[in-house]
Amino acid sequence: MLAKSVIEDVLTAALATGGDFSEVFLEDRYTNNLTLQGGKIENSLSGRDFGIGIRVFKGLQSVYTYTTDGSKEGLLKAARNAAHAISGETIIHPEPLKKEIITCAHPIAINPRETEKTRKVNVMKKAYEIAKNYHSSIQQVLVRYLDEEQNVLIANSEGKFIEDKRVRSRLAIQSIASDGKQMQPGFYGPGAHKGFEFFENLNLEHYANEASRIAVTMLGADPCPSGKFPVIIDNEFGGVIFHEACGHGLEATSVAKNNSVFANRIGEKVASDVVTYIDDGTIANEWGSITIDDEGEKARKNVLIENGILKGYLIDKFNSRRMGMESTGSGRRQSYRFAPTSRMTNTYIAEGKSTPEEIISNTEHGIYTKYMGGGSVNPATGDYNFAVMEAYLVKDGKIGKPLKGATLVGNGAETLQLVDMVGNNLGHGAGMCGSLSGSIPVNVGQPMIRVSEMTVGGSKEGE
Amino acid sequence: MNIQEFQQKLFGMGEKQGFTDMELYFEREEKFKCGLFKGEIDSYETSEIAGGSFRGLFNGKMGYAFTEKLDEDSVLYLVENAKENAQLIEEEIQEEIFGGSEEYQAGSFYSTELAKVTVPKKIELLKEIEKHIYAYDKRVTGTNYFILESAESERYISNNKGLSLDEKQNYIGMFISVVVKQGDETKTGAYVKATKDFSSFVPKEIAKYAVEEALSKLNAKTAESKYYPVLLRNDAAGDLFQTFSEIFSAENAQKGRSLLKGKEGETIAASALQMVDDPFLEDGLLSRSFDSEGFATMKKAIVKDGKLVTLLHNRKTAGIAGIESTGNAYKGSYKGSLTVSPSNLYVVPSKKSLEELTASVDEGILITDLAGLHSGADTVSGDFSLAANGFFVKDGKVQNTVKQMTIAGNFFELLKNIEAIGSDLEFSMSNVGSPSLLIKELAVTVE
C-alpha cells in the first residue's frame, strides 16, 4: 500500500525534533451501506476511506497528525507537522523495518466487495418479509445492511511493519408496531468479522421475528414502575450493562490518569465472588474480534476480574508508559482520523452455575430485562445509565406482564458488588462503542445475571 | 490530481457510462486539537483531510459514491459504484440535481481574526485555564478531559447544470471536564463552548464555572421519587431539543417517523414557545448561505406562539408537499446522502433569568445535565427516560444536589407543558440551543 522506503523516511522525519517513538497507520477502506424502508431500497451508499495517521511520542507527550494526502510530499509534510509540536534534537533513529507476516485469525470466505449488490438486496428483502409478516400490527420495517473491508498498514520506529485486512458484515432490523395511537420499536442487529457468507448462513427467521416480536410485545406493555428492585438481566446484549458499568472504567484511558474508580486496585476485591469479567479479541470471527490491534499488537484474551478480584486493565502503547505496564493488545481506533487508545473487543461475564430457571424462580418481586437498548457512563464517577428495550415484571418466581419505558441507572463499582447470581447461558451481542478514539465494533456478552438491587427509572410512580 | 482535473475526468467518465445529471460535492478540513494534563501537553493533533461525493442520475435514479483518494482508480470506483447503487433504488420520487437559487444572502462564517490565533497562543490559554482550575479548590483531583479544538473547513458544490458554490467557515471549541473528590464522592463538572471569538475565553471564569459545576454536585442527597415541576437549565434543555430536533424534519414526517406530520398551522406547544431556524448566526455550528444541495438558506420561524409554522424541507420533500424548499438539505459529510436537518435551531429567549424562574417553584427539581440521550429517547413516540443530575428546589430556592436521577416523560407533552421560558439562550457545542425552561411536571426517580 505504501513503499517501505517512504515509510522509513516518514518515521525518520517524525523523529527529527527529539521524539522517541514514531508510527505510521495507513488505512484504505471500502464500505457499502444499504437501507430498505417499506420493502423498497431507499438508499445505497458506497465509499472509499483513505488516509494516513502519523504519531510521535516523547515521554508522556503524544502528537498525532492525519491526512488524506498519500503522496510522499504530503506524508513528509504531515510528519514534519507532527515533529513541529516537539522541540529538541534527534535522539533516536528508526530501526530497519521487518515485515511481519500474519495469518488472519478470522478467515473470510466471500469478499463483500466482490459480491453483487443485488445479492445483498435479496438478504434485506427476505428479512423484511419475515419481520413484516410477523403480525398485523407491524406498521414499518427498516432493514439496514453494512459491509466493510478495511485494509491497514502499521509501521513504527521499533521496526514493526505489519498489514491486516478486516472484513465485517452486519444486518440491522428495526420493526415498528402500532395500534393506531402509539408506536413501539423492536430491534435486532447481528454482526460478525466475516464476509458475505455471514448473511448466507444467518438465521434470518430468528432475528427478523425477534425484532417484530419485541415491538408487538412492547405495544401491549404497561409503563414500568420506578423504584429499587432486584433486576434480572438476560444474556447476549444484556452484557451492555457491564460494558458501561465496568468495562470503560478498566480502560487505560481513564485508569492511567487515576480518573477511574478501579485505578490502583489490582488484587483488590471489586466485585462479588460470582463475577469473572473477560475481554477476548481472539474469539473466531466475532463482531468485536481482531487479529492485531491498531498498533500492530496481537489480540489477546485479557482476564480483567476473576472471582471478584481485579486482575488487569486494557492498555494501549501510550498509556502503558504512564502506567508502567505492558500493552494488552487493546489499542483501537475508528479510522486513521483517530489516535488509538485502549478499547474493548469482545467483553463478557464468564458463565456461572445457575440455570436461568433457577434465577427467575428465586426472585420474589423484581424486573426481568430480556433485551437492552444502549447506554453510557461517566468513567470518572462510574455513574451509568441505559435503556431497556424489553422488560417484564417478575412476581413470585414467575415472569409476568411486559413493561415499557424502563431505564436503569446506577454506579458501576456499586453494581459489581451486588451481582448475586450468574447463569450458565453465555451469549454475545454486537454493538458499536463510542469513546475517545471514535466508534468501533465491539461485542458485549454475559449469561443471565441478577443484581440484588438497581434503580429503575420508569414513567409510573413506584409500587 | 487537483479537484478541477478530478471533476473533469469524473464527469467525462460518468457521461460515457450513461449518467445524465451529475454533481461533485467536495469538502476540505484543517483541524488542530490539543489536550493538557497537569501542565503537560498530553495530546496534540493536526489534520488535513479532503473528500468528495459523486451523485448522479442514471435512468432517472440517483446513485451515490464517495472517496477520500483523488486518483484514476477512484474515478472508476465512483462511477461504477454510483451506477450500481442507482440501479438498486426502488423509490419512485427521486432527488434532482439543482441548477441554483436566484439569490444567495451573504453571511459571515469565517473569522480572519480567529485564523490568526497561533498555536502557542492556544496552548498558553489552556495552561492558564488549567492553573486556575487547580488553584480554585483543593478538592480538584484532575481533569477527565481538557481539550481545545479549532477547525477551518470549506464546502464546494459543482454540477453539470451550471451550479458552482463555495463557502468557508472556522471555529474554536473548548471541552473541559473537571474531577473533584470529597471522601467517597467523585463528581465531574463540564464546560463546553464553540465560538469564533477567541477573546471570549476568559481563563478565570471558565475555570470557576467548571469547578463550581463539579463541586455543586457533592454532598448529594436522596429525594422522594415522584412527579415534580422540572426546571431544565439551558444546556440540559438544549440537549433535549437537539435530540428531538428530528421531529421537525419533513423527511421524517413524510416517512411516518414524526408525529408532527400534517400539523402545520396547529398548536403543538404552549403559546409562549417561539422557535427559529437561523442559518446566519455568527457563532452557529451549522451556519451556511447555501444548503447541501445548493439551495439558498433563510432565517425562518418554525414555531410561533405555540403553533407549528413549517417543517424543515429540502427540495425533494418540498416537492412532495407542493411547497418551496426551506433550504434545509443536509449531508453530514461527503460520506452521506442528502437528508434534512435544521441549521441553527433555537427556542427564542424570554425575559426571566434562571434565578427568577427558580423563585417561582414551590417544590421541584432543577436539572443541570442529561445523559443517555442516544438510547433513552424515542423520537418517533416522543417518549424519553433519561439519566439526569440536578438539584432539589424548595420555596423558590436551590437546595442540595440530588443523587443520580432519571426523568421520564413525552417530548410532545413537554412542549405543551412549558410554563415559563428563561432569558439565557445557550448553544454550548450544538446547532440546537435553548434558554432554561420550566416544565409543569415530569416523572423523577432518584437513585
Q: What is the pLDDT of residues B52-100, one digit of tens each?
A: 999 999 999 999 999 999 889 999 999 999 999 999 999 888 899 999 9
**Gap between the Cα atoms of B333 and B233, Å rounded:** 31
Q: Which of A150-159, A237-246, A340-349 has the lowest mean pLDDT?
A: A237-246
Distance from the A427 Cα atom to the nearest Cα atom in chain B, whole angstroms: 22
Report the residue of A66, A459, A461, A463 to disrupt the B interface, i.e. the one with the largest count of B CBs within 10 Å: A459
Cα→Cα distances A234→A238, A349, B387, Å = 6, 12, 22
* Domain stop point among A220, A249, A284: A220
Enter the C-alpha cell of residue A320. 502503558
User: How many pairs of residues across A and B have Cβ atoms under 8 Å apart?
Assistant: 220
Please say if the pLDDT value at position A431 is more than 80: yes
Domain count, chain A: 2
Interface of B with A in 88-117 (CB under 8 A): 88-91
pLDDT at A380: 81
Cα-based distances in Å from B206 to A411, B58, B177, B178: 28, 54, 11, 11
Query: In chain B, what residues touch A374 (CB-CB under 8 Å)?
Result: 372, 374-375
Other CB atoms closer than 10 Å to residue A414's CB: what's the count? 16
Query: Per DSSP, what are the bridge partners of residue B32?
Result: B46, B150
Give whole-number Cα distances, A189 to A127, A181, B440, in Å: 12, 27, 38
d(CA B285, CA B345) in angstroms, rounded, equals 10
- Judge whether residue A140 has pLDDT over 60: yes
Name the residue range of residue A239's domain.
Answer: 223-457
Are the C-beta atoms of residues B36 and B9 closer than 8 Å to each other?
no
Q: Which residues of B touch A182 (CB under 8 A)?
A: 381
Give the CATH number of domain B3-32+47-88; options: 3.30.70, 2.40.10, 3.40.50, 3.30.160.
Answer: 3.30.160
- Homologous superfamily, domain B112-215: PmbA/TldD superfamily (3.30.2290.10)
Mean pLDDT (whole number) for A235-250: 92
Going by the DSSP 8-state scheme, the letter that residue A134 receives in this structure is T
SS3 of residue A212 by DSSP: helix
**Domain edge (last residue) among A172, A201, A220:** A220
- Judge if A344 and A422 occupy the same domain: yes
Radius of gyration, CA atoms only, chain A: 24
> What is the mean predicted confidence (pLDDT) over A127-155?
97
Query: Tens digit of pLDDT for each residue in B143-160?
Result: 988 999 999 999 999 999
CB B269 within 8 A of CB B413: no
User: Which residues, 6 or more positions from A116, have their beta carbon under 8 angstroms from its beta carbon?
Assistant: none
Strand ordering across the sheet containing B432-433:
B307-308, B300-304, B275-277, B345-347, B432-433
CA distances B122 to A412, A420, B111, B199, Å, are 36, 51, 16, 11
Q: What pLDDT, on a 0 to 100 scale, did the predictor assign at position A461?
A: 56
State residue A259's pLDDT score.
82
- Region A21-44: mean pLDDT is 95
Chain A residues whose CB is inside 8 A of the B63 CB are 44
CA B57 – CA B40 distance, rounded (Å)? 53
- Opening angle at CA A150, ends A147 and A155, nearest 5: 170
Q: Which of A162, A195, A220 lies at the terminal end of a domain, its last residue?
A: A220
* Residues A166, B365 contacting (CB under 8 angstroms): no
The tens digit of pLDDT for each residue in A165-209 reads 999 999 999 999 999 888 888 999 999 999 999 999 999 999 999
Average of per-residue pLDDT values in chain A? 94
Taking CA–CA distances from B218, the nearest residue in chain A reads: A381
pLDDT exceeds 50 at position A462: no
User: What average pLDDT score do residues B28-50 get?
Assistant: 93
Residue A127 and residue A35 share a domain: yes
Span B355-384, pLDDT tens digits:
999 999 999 999 999 998 988 898 988 989
CB contact under 8 Å between B383 and A405, yes or no, is yes
Residues of B in contact with A373 (CB under 8 A): 375-376
Query: Is the domain of A214 the same as that of A232?
Result: no
CB-CB under 8 Å, A410 with B375 = no
Scanning every residue of chain A, which has its alpha carbon at the shortest distance from the alpha carbon of B447?
A: A455
Q: Which of A57, A227, A68, A206 is nearest to A134 (CA)?
A: A206
Return the C-alpha cell found at A58: 516523547
What torsion, rounded to 10 degrees, do the Cα atoms B332, B333, B339, B340 define?
50
**Do the domain assignments include residue A422?**
yes
Q: Do B443 and A460 touch (CB under 8 A)?
A: yes
State pLDDT tens for residues A305-335. 999 999 999 999 999 999 999 999 999 999 9
CA B318 to chain centre: 23
- A-proximal residues of B, 2-21, CB under 8 Å: none
A196 domain residue, yes or no: yes
Q: pLDDT per residue over B162-200, tens digit each? A: 999 999 999 999 999 999 999 989 999 999 999 999 999
Q: Pick from B84, B91, B226: which is nearest to A117 by CB?
A: B84
In this predicted structure, what is the pLDDT of residue A182?
83
What SS3 state is found at B382?
A: coil
One domain for residues A174 and A278: no
Looking at the domain assignment, is residue A463 inside a domain? no
pLDDT tens column, B32-42 = 999 999 998 88
pLDDT number for residue B288:
97
What ipTM does the predicted assembly reach? 0.88
| A462 located within any domain | no
Of the candidates B288, B328, B327, the one whose C-alpha atom is nearest the C-alpha of residue B167 is B288
Please report which confidence band the pLDDT of residue A350 belongs to, taking 50, 70 and 90 as the band edges: very high
Distance, first Cα to last Cα, chain A: 63
Whether chain A has a CB inside 8 Å of the CB on B1: the answer is no
Do A213 and A267 have their domain in common?
Answer: no
Closest to B375 (Cβ–Cβ): which among A40, A70, A373?
Answer: A373
Give the confidence band of A257 by pLDDT, cuts at 50, 70, 90: confident
